[in-house]
Amino acid sequence: MDSLSTQERVFYGINQAHPDLFSDKNKLLEASAVGQKPVYVDFSGGALSSDAGLLLLKEVDEQIGLTKAAAAVLSDARDARYTLHSTCELLRQCVYQIAAGYEDGNDSNALRFEPIIKMAAGRLPVSGAALASQPTISRFQNRPSRAQLYRMATCIVEQFIASYDEDPEIIVLDFDDTDSQTYGDQQLALFNAYYNSYCYMPLHVYEGLSGKLITTILKPTVMKGPAVLSVLRRLVKRLRKEWPRAIIVFRGDSHFTKPEVMDFMESESNCMHVSGLRANAVLKRLAARVVEKTERLYERGNGKKVERFHSLRYKAGSWSRYRRVIVKVDVGPQGTNVRYVTTDMEEAPARSLYQNVYCNRARAENFIKDHKLYLHSDRASCHRFEANQFRLFLHSLAYILFDTLRREVLRGTEWATSTIETLRVKLIKVGARVRELKTRIKIELPTACPLKGMIRRSFLLLAQLRPG
């Protein structure tokens, strides 16, 4: 022990206070020999981290004030005399663990000593007290009420608005939902025949041009028209208050072609809608001539695929009036494929509206992939429905940090369009030794780090933006 530095003495002092860290699981291990020398492995490296890149997300968080604002809307009824972890620390611990790929609350038991996550939560990496364990995290995630969840949803929308330096000319509201399968005793989990499982159907709303997250709402099933209208009306009212001259476009697949939604968007100034439409007997009859003509052109075209677009007027039984419907027909070796889109954009050419406006809705599926697949936001493992909604918001906060990092800090680089998984593997999962000295903290990254130039550039940029 005499040869240990002050920082290492502190670290081992903490370990000795937690003897579970020196259990048989941490005994010396033997690996394959290298150059006739035996190789041994243990976990006595001290204050090391495999997630040093979280400091980049922490810098982004400090710039936009995301977790601080989110924590401020969560009330805390605990007795301050027995409180070891503030609401802000608990929220940051959850968000940064999710960002690093540790979405399971059980991971907190080991990561409560992780030096970089401690720093991200606002505690000193070595001498600072440990973060919360799994039971505390579980109680925290079950604490928010419906009123607090509503305030957090509002906070996320306000963060979206604050992300614009100038008033946007167009805002595209992409509505889409996805499945979040449940395997335990989760409240309001319903069987979905399409997915052949019990699941939730969380709604994701993104700004279609930028990919910025606007909100995520957990729900038991696909939303009906009044429920979609309720969310849309609140969003349009808030956005219109902030940007009175912006054009707001509602966009979604056929699940969101609701008469209430179309009537509302058509009644609002500078509001438009475009969404998919399910085929039915009437639409097939109205489109029959263009389908037949396209098939004849294919037969005369020596096997080349033929694509045609056509506009028609159509009124479903539940609609208040006739509306424009774009018919897209493509005929190729695999047969005839017909798609329908309805809109109130009367002047746009049919081909341009379908290809450049409606089809770009598919970008939302990539945003959901980042959110769900790479940040594991479908881990709805709590019993209470409200707790699972809160967990979804925690994943959304992590998404916003990553999205801001790539959109603002990494702008102009090859990483600006990377998936969250790529950013995590390349920029977050960086090993480092953490040294807590008397007057400063030093993070020592690997000399052979392949992305040292990008990491250096990012920290220099963030330092320029840091206030004061």
pLDDT tens digits for range 279-289: 999 999 999 99
Residue 373 CB partners (closer than 8 Å, separation 6+): 421
* Distance, CA of 416 to CA of 406 (rounded, Å): 5
- Give the model's pLDDT for residue 44: 73
For the ranges 302-306, 416-420, 421-425, which has the lowest average pLDDT? 302-306
Q: How confident is the model over 76-87, as pLDDT tens digits?
A: 988 888 899 999
Q: How far apart are CA 47 and CA 437, in angstroms?
A: 12
- The pLDDT score that the predictor gives to residue 193 is 92
* Dist CA 97 CA 63 (whole Å): 20
Cite the beta strand spans of 361-440 per DSSP E: 432-436
Q: Is the pLDDT of residue 170 over 70?
A: yes
Give the model's pLDDT for residue 48: 87
pLDDT average, residue stretch 142-163: 96
- pLDDT tens digit string along 188-205? 999 999 999 999 999 999
The whole-number pLDDT of residue 26 equals 56
**Tokens representing residue 199 in the block:** 């699941």
Q: Is the pLDDT of residue 263 over 80?
A: yes
The H or E element spanning position 19 is none
pLDDT of residue 9: 52
Q: How far is CA 100 from the centre of its chain?
A: 13
* Mean pLDDT, residues 48-64 taken together: 94
User: pLDDT category, 20, cuts 50, 70, 90?
Assistant: low
The pLDDT of residue 29 is 86
Structure token digits, residue 449 = 């780090």
- DSSP code of 466? S
pLDDT at 1: 44
Give the pLDDT confidence score for residue 40 in this predicted structure.
81
Higher pLDDT, 129 or 6: 129
What is the pLDDT of the chain when averaged over all its residues?
91
Share above pLDDT 70 across residues of the chain, in percent, rounded to a whole number: 94
Helix, strand, coil % (nearest 5) of the chain? 45, 20, 35
pLDDT for residue 25: 57
Summarised one tens digit per residue, pLDDT across range 318-333 is 999 999 999 999 999 8
Closest CA to 69 of 175, 207, 163: 163
pLDDT, residue 328, reads 96
pLDDT in tens, 352-404: 999 999 999 989 999 999 999 999 999 888 999 999 999 999 999 999 999 99
